[in-house]
Amino acid sequence: MKKIELLAPAGNFSKLKTALYYGADAVYAGGKNLSLRAFSDNFTDDEMRAAVLYAHSLNKKVYVTVNAFARNADLKRAEEYFKFLEDIEADAAIVTDPGLIAIAKSAAPNLEIHLSTQANTLNAAAAEFWVNTGVKRVILARELSFDEIKEIDRKSTRL
């Protein structure tokens, strides 16, 4: 049986500390760029670095959302951001855009990639596709029932 990971949102450093204190194994957090909630109370680069250090000191994980759908003007910044996330040893980037996944794999080959729920993966064939591109975790669409999730898990050979 797979170990369940308790994952909680961390919109800022205070929320990150609270989530980890109350038992989360990992948190997901967004930076100021390339996040669908980029204008929320998200982490600056310095805060993200501190958040990863803090979580790792507790043997916890930080997954960084890079789930925006990128335009051409975003691509250079994305490459730099993925390198930054790899440098600070973020545990994974949660990505939606296929172009950003390709950039992440090239710019930061040691950074684990998780597919965001925003990619709307609804079936086993799509999940297998993403795993075959190098995605380590597929966060399935919110619309799925527990039975549908079980079926995807049963039909997917590499999840």
Task: Report which residue type is found at 54.
Answer: Y
Distance CA 94, CA 54 (A): 20
pLDDT of residue 145: 96
> Cα(144)–Cα(142) distance, rounded to whole angstroms?
6
pLDDT above 60 (res 1): no
pLDDT higher than threshold 80 for residue 142: yes
**Across all residues in the chain, what is the average pLDDT?**
92
Report d(CA 120, CA 104) in Å as an integer. 20
- In whole angstroms, give the CA distance from residue 11 to residue 106: 28
> For residue range 73-126, what is the model confidence (pLDDT) as tens digits?
999 999 999 999 999 999 999 999 999 999 999 999 999 999 999 999 999 999
3-state secondary structure of 79: helix
Residue 42, pLDDT score: 85
pLDDT tens digits for range 21-36: 999 999 999 988 787 6
Residue 143 belongs to what H/E stretch? none
Residue 39 confidence (pLDDT) above 60: no
Q: What's the chain's Rg over C-alpha atoms?
A: 15
pTM: 0.92
**Contacting residues for 104 by C-beta, under 8 A, at least 6 apart:** 66, 78, 82, 93, 95, 111, 113
